[in-house]
Chains A and B, each alone.
Chain A
Amino acid sequence: MKPGESEAYHLCGHTYTTGSCLHPLGEPRVDSRGFPLSASGGHPVDNLGRRVDRRGRPVDNDGTLLRDPDGRPLPPAPRTRICDETGRVYGFDGELQGGWYRCCFGQVRKLWDCCAYSGRRINGDASLTGYCYGGRRVFCVTYYDTRIPC
């Protein structure tokens, strides 16, 4: 597999077969700190998959605050790093470790591994070292899209 504008297993830039980390909307797009973003618009989403504003309050597609019939803003849901959330679900202490950048759809993308001290990966079979270090291995994968053309 040549690097660069690469299309491989289930998401662009990912050259191995490890599955995605658990993401409320499916595709494991995250921000620079590992919190979930919507794959289509890159908007922050909470653990329920709702688009949220900077303060974590749910908003509609236009960014307007969602309110209940009484006009009060809807309560925010938790928003956790998807690596942490996947670790909680599968029972391990996940950590986003080494990343590697590639060119995807004309933009620079970071492929970012959620690593664990585990011989198994999210697919259920044996895990690989990937970009992990310090004895950790790849449990699942995420990605971070920059806005830089390539």
Chain B
Amino acid sequence: MSGLDAAVAAVALLAGLTGTWSPCGFSVIETLGPTGHRGGRALAIVSCLAFALGAPLGGVVTFGGLAAIGDLAGTGGRLAFLLAAGLAVAAGLADARRAPIRPQIRRQLPEPWRRRLPMPLTGFLYGVLLGLGFTTFVLSFGLFALAGVCLSVGDPSLGAIAGLAFGAGRALPVLVIGPFVDLSAGIRMAAAMAERPGIYYGFRLGDAGALGAVAIALVITPHVAGADESPALARAEPVRAAAADPSAYGGTLVVQGRRQRGLIRRRGGFELLPGTDPAVGGPYVAVLRRDNIVLLLRPSLREVASYRAPGVREVAVSGSWLVWLTGRGRGRQAIRMRRILHRAHPGRVRTVARARPPVLLGRPSLSNGRVAFTRASPRSNAIRVARLRSGRVKTLLVSHTIALGSPTLAGRALLYVRSAGRRQQLRVRRLGRRGSRTLFARRRRFGTFWTTAIDSRRAYLTVLRFGERGRAKSRVLRVGRR
């Protein structure tokens, strides 16, 4: 959990707690407790637990939903983070100064539910409603700030954390006081809440402090705040027109030229390779020649091995592994691999993934014994990463609403294209970490973002423009990683 996650969770927890001081919060404690029905303490405990289930659910719907909207809208840039930080500071100051909550949502829970529904169901539904946050009275500015932060950061997992913490804050007093509100200690606790506003203002002050921490985390955490993404967002340099499908490794760049011919960049220009659909990795440049994968040594381009690979369409290579995609999109597709640590005695061919239409597999990318590829269908787009030693495949990113594709691995960095509506982004993330940052973004009229490549210093991107009869003209751009 990052510093921002922890600070947002603290704000959410405290904002949820302050919500107990609303007409709804008080009503729930007394309604679900033994004072609100004739079911006794057992029913009170069950009802309070049901409330504790519903509240986080409502919280996740609201804050996770706002974060998902932000994610779809492509927020998360430097400006959005600064705006969110400003909002957190303003809300924190207002809470510290005990400012009256404006605008106030003057709505109560539906009272008839407690008479018409079983009490545990009532508890659950009340929990969902209060967990939603904006359906009833608001008792802290932290709630508004939290919504703004989730929307601005646009990270659904951060939204989920906020929602769960907010729901937990809502549920905690109900769980602690509700089942015992008829006992002397329960009455004293409820009366203290009602008659000592200092407790409520104390929580608002705590919320103000946590909001300050959120603002600091938004401003100073570089990988979260995306402080270093602005220059890259502004510029992309052309590498070569009439080229596509770049592959980069250790300062070597290969692309596919006209009629899929392989090209390698040398001495400021591009030279022809003895094959098509090139890829570079480890000490090799790999090209396709009919149904064979041919390995050339860098930098001499001496041919050192050739392997039969029927139906091969795309290839990826490293010092130890060879991975390739077979099959056209109209038939069955598969991603296959073999170990090439000993070139003369390669390992047996194994299958990493298979697909049949309408599911399509994408161009594989290989690094550190892992292969990344896209699995796209009309229902969802997913970026998967397989460990070649174990054969374990993990879905790294998946979406049922936006397009994800063209993943490229370089060490622990994953570069990919994300397209939502007319917006397209070239994004990079670290394996094993949450969140990604945008390297380059353009609207679709700029051209369609296509295949990618990445090395330690630069990212490469193919951009397609479609002309008459759907024919694509492609070019390769270079984008700085820093």
Contact = CB atoms under 8 A, between A and B. Distances in A.
B468 interface: no
Contacts of A5: 106
B23 A102 contact: yes
A2 B27 CA distance: 16
Given A98-B31, A101-B27, A129 B21 contact: no
Among the interface residues A101, A109, A110, A144, which one has the most CB atoms of the partner chain B within 10 A?
A: A101
B191 interface: yes
B104 interface: yes
Contacts of B108: 3-4, 100-102
B473 to A, nearest CB: 62
A24 interface: no
B126 interface: no
Contacts of B193: 146, 148
Interface string A35-56: 0000000000000000000000
Q: How large is the interface on B (under 10, 10 to 19, 20 to 34, 35 or more residues)?
A: 20 to 34
Q: Label chain A's interface by main secondary structure.
A: strand
Contacts of A110: 26, 30, 194
A147 B27 contact: no
Nearest to B106: A4
Contact of A108 (B22, B38, B196): B22
A148 B111 contact: no
A67 B269 CA distance: 108
Given A32-B187, A33-B187, A147-B194, A99 B106 contact: no
Interface residues of A, number: 27
Interface string B336-366: 0000000000000000000000000000000
A50 B53 CA distance: 48
A4 B195 contact: no
B43 to A, nearest CB: 11
Contacts of B30: 98-99, 110
Contacts of B190: 32
Interface in B93-124: 100, 104, 106-108, 111, 114-115
Contacts of A150: 22-23, 104, 137, 139
Interface in A1-46: 2-5, 31-33
Contacts of B115: 129, 133
A135 B195 CA distance: 32
Interface string A83-117: 00000000000000111111100001110000000
B197 interface: yes
B22 A100 contact: no
Contact of B197 (A99, A100, A134, A149): A149
B35 interface: yes
B36 interface: yes
Nearest to A99: B30
Contacts of B10: none
Contacts of B37: 98, 133
Interface in A106-150: 108-110, 129, 131, 133-134, 144, 146-150
Contacts of B107: 3-4
Contacts of B26: 101, 108, 110, 146
Contacts of A134: 38
A149 B100 contact: yes
A17 B21 CA distance: 27
Given A5-B106, A33-B187, A146-B195, A101 B38 contact: no
Contacts of A144: 194
A102 B107 CA distance: 9
Given A98-B31, A144-B194, A147-B194, A103 B36 contact: no
A31 B191 CA distance: 9
Contact of B35 (A4, A97, A109, A147): A97
A103 B109 CA distance: 12
A3 B115 CA distance: 17
A148 B202 CA distance: 13
A13 to B, nearest CB: 9
B27 A148 contact: no
Contacts of A103: 23, 106, 137
A27 to B, nearest CB: 18
A98 B35 contact: yes
A36 to B, nearest CB: 16
A54 B454 CA distance: 77
A147 B187 contact: no
Interface in B412-461: none
Contacts of A147: 194-197
Nearest to B108: A3
B200 interface: yes
13 contacts: A3-B108, A32-B195, A97-B35, A98-B30, A100-B27, A101-B22, A101-B108, A103-B23, A108-B194, A110-B30, A110-B194, A148-B194, A150-B22
Interface of A: 2-5, 31-33, 97-103, 108-110, 129, 131, 133-134, 144, 146-150
CB-CB nearest 7 A-B residue pairs: A4-B106, A146-B194, A101-B23, A3-B108, A32-B191, A134-B38, A101-B26
